[in-house]
Amino acid sequence: MYILVINAGSSSLKYQLFDMPSDKPLCTGLIERIGTNEALIRHKILTTEPGLTIERKGTIADHAEGLEQMLQLLSDTETGLIHSADDIQVVGHRVVHGGERFAKPTLITPSVKEAIKVLFPLAPLHNPINYQCIEIAEKTFPRAKQIAVFDTAFHQTLPAYAFRYAIPDTLYVHEGIRVYGFHGTSHKYVCGKAMTWLQKPDAKLISIHLGNGCSMTAVRAGQSIDTSMGFSPLAGLVMGTRSGDIDPAIIFHLISLGYSTDDVNTLLNKQSGMQGLTGLSDMRDIGKAVAAGNRSAELALEIYAYRIRKYIGAYAAVLNGLDALIFTAGVGENDSAMRERICSALDVLNIHLDSSKNSAHSSEIRDVSRDQATVKILVIPTNEELEIAVQSYELLHER
């Protein structure tokens, strides 16, 4: 069964093609800078050794044109993997916000599309693009079943005492204001890998997803029981451009200083976090600044790591124990120095990182804790596209 997975961002589109039930992709692709004349497509064919990478640069006006070019690459007469769009049997879509309605992968129908539209205000940067890509894919791959996998779905197992805010009840009942959590597809994938690696289906895990967006999730026996992002992706950890947790009174104070609500929204989502502390949002650039003696950059890294350590302590208490920490996503997988900062001074939780193991590089699951440590520290590469493909395949085989 050919399953094409589409993971769309506001100006980017990641995709992978699978011949399920094999979990090895036939190809992967990334389209960046959509909407500009400097767009880049990087299409990797993985069916041959050592593989073939095709790059194209130029203008891609919108996601529709991006999907059209993706189809051209997939069906190319010389290097293509399919003959036509009709060969694609399933298109799996990452949809960021599913509200309380969607707790599992869902076959897309007109009513499901309308529900995704209703949730636009809760994820204004993501759900409209996800919806647009669904509509484009329906036209591009007319014979394929379209399936939505929601980032918020994994967190629908949160107990009420974890997802409710201490605000008037009517705001939850009528306005849906509660903790939804995000990055659920990534957290689910890496926790599944960890339970298999540990050979412990009832494992107590803390999953730490560190990219430009950052979140943590406490997981017991494969179920999310608490998570750091909340009603929106703004809450929780310090991120590339997002503030994470702040005192809500700061918002009122900023408004009293003359900031509009739009100004505050832009400030907290796009001008804060590491960007606000250092003028830089990429951790690689911040690392270079630290090496050059920049004290503000050094402090920013300590703030970033300290916030994560606070959540580790909180989630270890929530779980009443801990079997493993999981580091994943771009920073979590690749920044060994940040993992060391985070894991320092956690002896009370029996968390002990091995520096030599931590500095080694691998694309596989690896344990970077000391040999005798009771809590494992696992670095697990995430693969949201594979998780979406697996969930889509399983949904169709349940029917």
Biggest CA-to-CA distance, the chain? 63
Give the pLDDT of residue 48: 84
Range of the structural domain that residue 95 is part of: 2-150
Angle at 150 between CA 309 and CA 88, to 5 degrees: 130
CATH number at residue 305: 3.30.420.40
The Cα 202–Cα 281 span in angstroms is 37
192, part of any domain: no
Predicted confidence (pLDDT) per residue in 124-147, tens digit: 778 888 999 999 999 989 999 999
Give the pLDDT of residue 121: 83
Angle at 26 between CA 97 and CA 73, to 5 degrees: 85
Predicted confidence (pLDDT) per residue in 192-225, tens digit: 999 999 999 999 999 999 998 899 999 999 999 9
The Cα 272–Cα 162 span in angstroms is 26
Catalytic residue chosen out of the listed positions 62, 151, 226, 371: 151
220 shares a domain with 136: no
169, part of any domain: no
Residue 179 three-state SS = coil
224 shares a domain with 124: no
Residue 95 three-state SS = strand
120, part of any domain: yes
255, part of any domain: yes
58 shares a domain with 123: yes
14 is in an annotated binding site: yes
Give the pLDDT of residue 122: 81
160, part of any domain: no
- Burial class from Cβ neighbours inside 10 Å (0-12, 13-18, 19+) for residue 141 reads buried
Backbone angles phi, psi at 383, to 5 degrees: -150, 80
Give the pLDDT of residue 399: 58
263 has catalytic annotation: no
364 shares a domain with 217: yes
Domains contained in the chain, number: 2
211 is in an annotated binding site: yes
359 shares a domain with 254: yes
Q: Domain end: 150, 181, 207, which one?
A: 150
82 shares a domain with 10: yes
Give the pLDDT of residue 33: 85
The ranges of the chain with pLDDT < 50 are: none
210 is in an annotated binding site: yes
Q: Is the peptide bond before 50 cis (omega within 30 degrees of 0)?
A: yes
Note whether 162 and 226 are within 8 A (CB). yes
350 is in an annotated binding site: no
